[in-house]
């Protein structure tokens, strides 16, 4: 069976609801809402790469998706978000308290999904899981901290994105490698691949919010600019712009009295002057190449590694 099928089947047949339903129904709602389920797919791609049967580890792979959705439940409370995957967020459909408590239960359920592993593998997997989980919290904290700062450096941005996005993708790959008994060097290289793919993916996401097309992107561009998010484009523009461009940007980004459309137009004007589209493309190329470089070091055939090349391309909308 294809890996995406294995993951899909697991979530379609999983029973999340039991008493008290007020705690478990929101978990079911979140996990049945689809999404790309990238993280369990990455776990099982790694399991397969290192010669194990992906079906054997679907529960542990799914734990990464349950964890990811726990972060979404809490993030949506913190961001006061209305919509997630085209449906009301848990904090809207129910309320903030439900999203907090059901989120907590999801984090614990994710831990429980490793229970099928034998003692030694169990400890390795759960410790890796905890390390990933706490780093994602750290990334989220840095992201919140940045909201109040206009002097975020490129280095700080990359560190935040590594923690908030990269670590969970890379950690899912490492989890799969570990479960399948890969050697440490291969597991580390696959992790390195994941970190770089994750950073490139975040730059792509930042890019699309400015240059994306609503039809293919799925949401209207400009959200990040409207809420003053510290994106790769903003940080680069603040670094590369002349004094007057920097000043204008700083005055624009946290000014809530300017209409979103006007703010978008003004910021985009500066991004155009500074060629931010090319800057993003170059940065993505750089991280993509780093990712492929790490992948090449893994002691497996090009053919076996091909799905990871395709995954990286797909994730950043590459068609070449």
DSSP 285: H
112 binding a second copy? (CB under 8 A): yes
Q: Is residue 15 within the footprint of a second copy (CB under 8 A)? A: no
**Both tokens assigned to 141:** 């904290």
Long-range contacts of 138-141 (CB under 8 A, 24+ apart): 138/163, 139/163, 139/164, 139/165, 139/167, 140/71, 140/75, 140/164
Nearer to a second copy, 90 or 237 (CB): 90
Q: Among the candidate windows 34-42, 116-124, 177-185, 195-203, which touches a second copy by CB under 8 A?
A: 116-124
DSSP state of 87: E
Taking the C-alpha atoms of residue 4 and residue 9, their distance in angstroms, rounded to an integer, is: 9
Judged by CB under 8 A, the stretch of 35-43, 142-150, 276-284, 290-298 that binds a second copy is 142-150
Q: How many residues bind a second copy (CB under 8 A)?
A: 36
- Which region, judged by CB under 8 A, interacts with a second copy, from 38-46, 111-119, 193-201, 273-281? 111-119
Which of 78, 227, 247, 306 lies at the binding interface for a second copy (CB under 8 A)? 78
What radius of gyration, in Å, describes the C-alpha atoms of the chain?
Answer: 20
Cα torsion 251, 281, 161, 215: sign? positive
Residue 144 lies near a second copy (rule: CB under 8 A): yes
| Residue in 61, 77, 90, 237 binding a second copy, rule: CB under 8 A | 77
| Contact set for a second copy, span 18-47 (CB under 8 A) | 19-20, 22-23
Task: Identify which range of 130-138, 203-211, 244-252, 257-265 contacts a second copy by CB under 8 A.
Answer: 130-138
- Exposure string (b/e) for 220-231, b if CB count within 10 Å is 16 or more? ebbebbbebbbb
User: Distance (Å, rounded) from C-alpha 55 to C-alpha 319?
Assistant: 30
Which residues 170-189 are close enough to bind a second copy by CB under 8 A? none
Between residues 14 and 105, which has the closer beta carbon with respect to a second copy?
Answer: 105
Least distance CB 161 / a second copy (angstroms): 14
Yes or no: say if 197 and 291 are a contact pair by the CB < 8 Å rule: yes
Q: Which pairs count as long-range contacts for 116-120, CB under 8 Å and 24+ apart, including other chains?
A: 116/59, 116/60, 117/60, 117/179
Q: Can you give the binding site for a second copy, defined by CB under 8 A? A: 19-20, 22-23, 74, 77-78, 96-97, 100-101, 103-105, 107-109, 111-112, 115, 119-120, 122-123, 126-127, 130, 133-134, 137-138, 140-142, 144-145
């Amino acid at each position: 069976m294809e890996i995406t099928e294995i993951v899909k089947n697991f979530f379609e047949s999983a029973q999340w609801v039991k008493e008290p339903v007020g705690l478990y129904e929101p978990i079911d709602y979140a996990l049945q809402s689809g999404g790309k389920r990238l993280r369990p797919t990455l776990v099982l791609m790694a399991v397969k790469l290192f010669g194990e049967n992906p079906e054997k580890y679907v529960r542990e792979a799914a734990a990464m998706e349950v964890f990811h959705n726990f972060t979404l439940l809490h993030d949506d409370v913190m961001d006061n978000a209305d919509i997630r995957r085209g449906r009301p967020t848990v904090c809207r459909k129910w309320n903030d308290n439900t999203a907090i408590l059901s989120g907590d239960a999801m984090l614990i359920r994710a831990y429980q999904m490793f229970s099928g592993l034998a003692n030694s593998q169990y400890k390795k997997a759960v410790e890796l899981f905890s390390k990933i989980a706490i780093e994602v919290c750290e990334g989220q904290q840095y992201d919140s901290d940045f909201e109040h700062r206009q002097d975020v450096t490129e280095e700080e941005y990359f560190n935040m994105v590594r923690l908030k996005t990269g670590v969970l993708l890379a950690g899912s790959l490492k989890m799969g490698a570990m479960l399948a008994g890969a050697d440490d060097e291969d597991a580390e290289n696959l992790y390195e691949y994941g970190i770089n793919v994750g950073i490139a993916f975040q730059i792509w996401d930042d890019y699309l919010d400015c240059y994306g097309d609503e039809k293919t992107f799925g949401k209207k561009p400009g959200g990040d600019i409207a809420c003053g998010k510290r994106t790769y484009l903003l940080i680069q523009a603040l670094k590369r712009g002349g004094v007057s461009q920097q000043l204008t940007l700083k005055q624009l980004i946290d000014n809530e009295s300017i209409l979103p459309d006007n703010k978008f137009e003004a910021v985009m004007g500066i991004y155009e002057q500074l060629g931010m589209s090319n800057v993003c493309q170059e940065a993505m190329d750089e991280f993509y190449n780093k990712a492929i470089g790490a992948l090449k070091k893994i002691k497996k055939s090009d053919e076996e590694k091909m799905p990871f090349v395709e995954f990286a391309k797909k994730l950043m909308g590459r068609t070449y």
